Homo-oligomer: A and B are copies of this chain.
């Protein structure tokens, strides 16, 4: 795969400090650009999920539980897959359970755990939402070629790895 590169000419071959400064400036641009793109993306997703009156984190939990299938997931495991802390997950699940989108029950094998499952209503809500979410992905990709989109995914993966440490 070829990554499209913006050519930048340096008129003055510079000292090491100047080159470091240039790299650092690119890092700052990347930080700003990443936050801005993610903010716009979050707003689009929020607009989509808002139609069903659920917040993006709630949607995220439902997606995770759909992926878990019939096996269900313990509460804190959901928290691990989102990068969110434990106490918030409980209340988030409380709200979803109150709307019958999620079901919880004590695990019989390890009675400390509470297993969470998505309900048929939850699955149905997700299926109503999927087209809107896909549309956001399509919009995101609309200004990129296929190769560029794949390059973006690759670069973002590398960035995430570097930031996760």
Known: A149-B27, A149-B30. A6 touches B154 (CB 8 A): yes
Q: Is A138 a contact of B3 with CB atoms below 8 Å?
A: no
Copies assembled: 2
Query: What 1/0 flags go to A26-60 for Cβ under 8 Å of B?
Result: 11111101111111111111000000000000000
A-B contact pairs, 12 of them (CB 8 A): A3-B147, A3-B148, A5-B150, A26-B149, A27-B134, A33-B157, A34-B152, A35-B38, A140-B159, A143-B159, A148-B155, A152-B156
A137 → chain B, closest Cβ, in Å?
A: 3
- A72-80, A87-95, A110-118, A124-132 - the one binding chain B: A124-132
With A and B bound together, what is the CA distance between A156 and B32 in angstroms?
10
Alpha-carbon distance A163/B36, docked complex (angstroms): 10
A153 to chain B, nearest CB (A): 5
Q: Is the pair A5, B140 in contact by a Cβ cutoff of 8 Å? A: no
Is the pair B158, A31 in contact by a Cβ cutoff of 8 Å? no
